[in-house]
A = this chain, B = another copy of it.
Amino acid sequence: MSGDRLKHFGWGREGEAMTEAEEAFALRNYQQMFSVGAFDSVPVPPLAELTLRAPRLTPPASLADICSVARYDRAAHAFGKSYRDTVLGMLNDYASAPDVVAFPRHEQDISDVMDWAAGEGAMLVPFGGGSSVVGGVTADDARARKLVTLDLRAMDRLIEVDASSRAARIEAGVFGPALEAALKPHGLTLRHFPQSFEYSTLGGWIATRSGGHYASLYTHIDDFVESLRLVTPAGVVETRRLPGSGAGPSPERLFIGSEGMFGVITQAWMRVQHRPKFRTDQVVLFNDFYSAARALRAVSQAGLYPSNCRILDPQEARNTGAGDGQVAIMVLAFESADHPTDVWMARALECCADHGGIAENAADAQNSEGAASRWRTAFIRMPYTRERMVPRAIITDTFETAITWDRFEAFHAAVVEATLRGIREVTGRPGQVTCRFTHVYPDGPAPYFTFHALGRHGALLAQWQAIKTAASDALIAMGGTITHHHAVGREHRPWYDREAPPLFRDAMRAAKRALDPRAIMNPGVLIDA
């Protein structure tokens, strides 16, 4: 199993990590950013040295085959991949480790585990790939309450394909690459590629309203869910397979984004795509980020629906190797399984030119392909950074949001300033905040911020929390959302509680009582137990 199994600490599978070159590049950047020569580095405890409480639960004989109390399984399910998770792992604080990890093979297994857990007064955390960066699977309550984690990986089949309707019925536990591999022989693709693609699952994407490949139009997984099934403590819910309906509030939308608080998503009919045959790519350079944003507003309001239209501010472009730090960059692409997309691209480039955007010309094409490709590589490799920087007391994290266009510039300025001020106040030295857009709508963008600060061992969690709080307070005060596609989990709860209408939360609490009367499902996400 070793070498093929997910790490208990850090991103990806055992044996995977930053290359030496990647690490050296990152460290050089940070040395320059913080004007320091070297970084104090503390060791991360290996698996054998982790402090795990003795399991407080023994699975009944009927469930023994699908349950594990093995050290690795418990450690590997204690955390997601957030900054906080990573610090806790480094500090050997495994209080959130489950007592038992169950690997259900089918819905009956899930129901059986629910019945057993409820009888034991335990809580249940559904677990896909464990890539949550918001504490979605980090059950802090496990200090006080027994915990069973339900890992869905054994439920990973492509059950059925309806080529005529371009839809597929898929089990929730399938990881991104396996899902795409199963669809490929049918000429189909879900085209949902979050940064976590390799280490996240369909069920996780739906439970967290994951943001995907398409930078416009079909931004979230939400629109691709034709119907779904979930197992709740009160029984199974299955919605009807329909291309559209107006029969009451959408049943799917109650469960999409419910983060395991009602039950466990077990399968879904997903709207899939034909594999694209035509693709047009372009990199467009702008003098500054706001000009790029205005151009993108024009593109998004023109009804052109680019598959990619991400913009990076000059510093973010530089940090990811996509630019020189002098210009903002737009990575623009159209794709289609049906027709050439040159007309779309031509019009989008006109919108860009109206705001000073300069498309890299043919002579530079090699180079611009290089910029887009360097950015993509940096994007995919990024998650490996955290486990190497946390032990050096570097605080680096991302947060993302959405805001309407009328408020964007003031919003951006205020959020950057609040975050930089937070960094200065808690670390005593300047840091860096950069921004890109991950998705865009006719009525506003989804800005994605990255920040970097130099922390201090012994104070890391408090420092990170203070910066996160400064940033999140600004997001909410300035009218944004606490999350566009990372989800709420436990880490965003204080701000979600300010964002979500109080009476809507009352309605969700009531709905939870109906579906999960003993409050066993993922307590702490979205609403309190």
Asked if A196 lies at the interface with its beta carbon under 8 angstroms from chain B, I say no
Please report the C-alpha to C-alpha distance between residue A1 and residue B327 in the assembled complex, in whole angstroms.
64
Q: A234-B503, A239-B501, A515-B503 are in contact. Are A165 and B246 (CB under 8 A)?
A: no
Most B Cβ at <10 Å: residue of A304, A446, A504:
A504
Binary contact track A199-223/B, C-beta < 8 Å → 1, others 0: 0000000001111000000011010
Taking CB atoms, residues of chain B closer than 8 Å to A339 are 302-304, 347
Give per-residue flags for A334-346: 1 if the beta carbon is below 8 A from chain B beta carbons, else 0: 0011110001000
Q: Does A40 contact B (CB under 8 A)?
A: no
**Chain B residue contacts of A514, Cβ below 8 A:** 503, 506-507, 509-510
Rounded to whole Å, the gap between the CB of A303 and the closest CB of chain B is: 6
Residues of B within 8 A of A347 (CB): 338-339
Q: Are A166's CB and B239's CB within 8 A?
A: no
Which single member of B167, B255, B406 contacts A443 (CB below 8 Å)? B167
In A458-487, the 8 Å CB interface with B consists of: 479-487
Query: Are B501 and A251 closer than 8 Å at their CB atoms?
Result: yes
Interface residues in A, total, Cβ within 8 A: 94
Q: Are B244 and A248 in contact (CB under 8 A)?
A: no
- With A and B bound together, what is the CA distance between A381 and B276 in angstroms? 43
Per-position 1/0 for A496-517, Cβ under 8 A of B: 1001111110111111011100
Residues of B within 8 A of A245 (CB): 209, 402, 481, 483-484
Give A contacts to B, CB under 8 Å.
Answer: 162, 164-167, 208-211, 219-220, 222, 226, 232, 234-251, 253-259, 262, 271, 274, 297, 301-305, 336-339, 343, 347, 402-406, 439, 441-446, 479-488, 492, 496, 499-504, 506-511, 513-515, 526
A-B contact pairs, 20 of them (CB 8 A): A164-B405, A166-B442, A209-B246, A210-B246, A219-B244, A235-B502, A239-B504, A240-B501, A243-B404, A243-B441, A243-B444, A246-B485, A248-B257, A249-B256, A251-B500, A253-B253, A302-B337, A507-B511, A507-B514, A510-B514
Beyond A242-B481, A248-B496: 5 further Cβ-contacts under 8 Å?
A243-B403, A246-B481, A248-B488, A304-B338, A507-B510
